[in-house]
Structures are given as C-alpha cells and as structure tokens.
C-alpha cells in the first residue's frame, strides 16, 4: 500500500537544494534496487546522508518522493528545451533530438528496472502505478502534444490530432527492442550507438512521411 506518514512540517529555514538532490538520487537507487515497498523512508534518508526530519521537510511521504524521483529523471534526460521550437527550426532536427533522448531514456537500465517494478505493482498498488505514469510517460506525451499542436499551427507538418501523433511517435521509438529489454531477452549493452541512431532516424523519416504536408 502507499506509504503515508506525518504531514509536512510548517514554515522554517529555507530548504537546501543540495539535500533535495541527494534525497532524489538516493530514492532512485533504492527504488530500483529494492522496489517501492522494499524501500523505507528511513533507508532513503540514510542513503542520502540526511536526517528523517530533513527528508520529510522536502517530501511529505514516500508516494510524493517516488513521483518526484520519476519526474526528475525524465526532466534530466528529456529537458523542456527540446520541445521549444525556434523561429527557424528544422522539424526533422527537432524530432531527431527528442527521439534520441527518449530512446536513450526508455532503454536505459534504470528505466527498464523501474518499468519492471511498476509491472510488478500493477495489481498490488494501481494508484501508485497511475501516479508513476502521470509523473513520467504522461508528461512526455503532454509535452509532445503541445509541440505538435504548434507544429501544425505553423504549417511545418499536418497534425490534426496532436495527442495521437505523440503516442505514435513514442511507440515507434520504443519499437520491439524495448519489450525485449523488459523481459530480459536482450541486454542494453548488446546495442551500439550507431544502431540506436539509425533506428531513431528511420522512425523520424517514417513520422515525417506520415504527417508531412
């Protein structure tokens, strides 16, 4: 079940950003190594080198910390600047940059491990799984949806349904390799950077053919 503890403390000294980062890093390590249920707030505080009081001053409960860790990982690997269209942008280059970043994120050992944890939690804690999806995958889809709406408005591509186009793009990038990684059929180390880039370039070319004006 979702771990809920005492409410966040009231106003006090300003929070230390470095400690917040240390807590998020520790949470990512433990959630991947021991799963959500196997990672206590005590253990995360110890791993981060902070007191339990400091941990709760940043995150009110384990649920909030988990969602923040997922969101931080996505924002680091897929920064918002990738979805900002310059006046003179080439849409092919924009899609290639996003595709390469997403491909690297979704197929990384950390992401594969987290997805496996969420699959295991699907029947035990569906509320947490929904929160994971909203904090990570849904955020990416929303960013793409907004960008594709702007792409259509500028006449760069013809995209009548931006959300559907976002789902198509992500599904094409993940392809069959992502599933092979999830079930352990192959390992991430088996692929090389050249094959990853060739895959993403092929996806972008296919997407442009489908939505080109």
* CATH code of the domain covering residue 149: 1.10.357.10
Whether residues 115 and 201 fall in one domain: yes
Average pLDDT over residues 137-148: 97
* Full residue range of the structural domain in which residue 28 is found: 1-77
Q: Where residue 59 sits, what CATH number does that domain have?
A: 1.10.10.60
Same domain, 198 and 156: yes
Q: How many domains, in total, are found in the chain?
A: 2
Q: How confident is the model at residue 10 (pLDDT cuts 50, 70, 90)?
A: very low
pLDDT score of 14: 60
24 in the same domain as 39: yes
- Per-residue pLDDT at 34: 85
Do residues 6 and 58 both lie within one domain?
yes
C-alpha torsion 28→32→36→39, nearest 10: -70
Query: Which sign does the torsion angle of CA 173, 188, 142, 82 carry?
Result: negative
Among 61, 77, 93, identify where a domain stops. Answer: 77
The answer on 111 and 27 residing in a single domain is: no
67 lies in the same domain as 99: no
66 and 35 in a common domain: yes
Mean pLDDT of the chain: 90
Q: What is the 3-state secondary structure (H, E, C) of the chain?
A: CCCCCCCCCCCCCCCCHHHHHHHHHHHHHHHHHHCCCCCCHHHHHHHHCCCHHHHHHHCCCHHHHHHHHHHHHHHHHCCHHHHCCCCCCCHHHHHHHHHHHHHHHHCCHHHHHHHHHHHHHCCCCHHHHHHHHHHCHHHHHHHHHHHHHHHHHHCCCCCCCHHHHHHHHHHHHHHHHHHHHHCCCCCHHHCCHHHHHHHHHHHHHHHHHHHCC
Q: Are residues 90 and 159 in the same domain?
A: yes
């Amino acid at each position: 079940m979702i771990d809920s503890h005492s409410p966040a403390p009231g106003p006090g000294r300003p929070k230390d950003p470095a400690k917040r980062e240390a807590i998020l890093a520790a949470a990512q390590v433990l959630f991947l190594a021991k799963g959500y249920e196997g990672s206590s707030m005590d253990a995360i505080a110890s791993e981060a080198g902070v007191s339990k009081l400091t941990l709760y001053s940043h995150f009110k409960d384990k649920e909030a910390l988990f969602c923040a860790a997922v969101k931080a990982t996505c924002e680091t690997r897929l920064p918002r600047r990738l979805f900002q269209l310059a006046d003179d942008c080439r849409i092919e280059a924009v899609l290639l940059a996003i595709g390469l970043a997403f491909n690297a994120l979704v197929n990384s050992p950390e992401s594969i491990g987290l997805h496996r944890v969420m699959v295991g939690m699907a029947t035990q804690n569906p509320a947490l799984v929904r929160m994971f999806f909203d904090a990570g995958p849904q955020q990416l889809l929303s960013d793409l949806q907004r960008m594709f709406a702007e792409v259509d408005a500028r006449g760069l591509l013809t995209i009548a349904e931006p959300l559907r186009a976002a789902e198509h793009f992500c599904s094409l990038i993940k392809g069959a390799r992502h599933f092979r990684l999830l079930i352990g059929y192959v390992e991430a180390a088996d692929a090389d950077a050249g094959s990853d880039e060739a895959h993403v370039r092929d996806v972008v070319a296919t997407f442009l053919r489908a939505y080109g004006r």
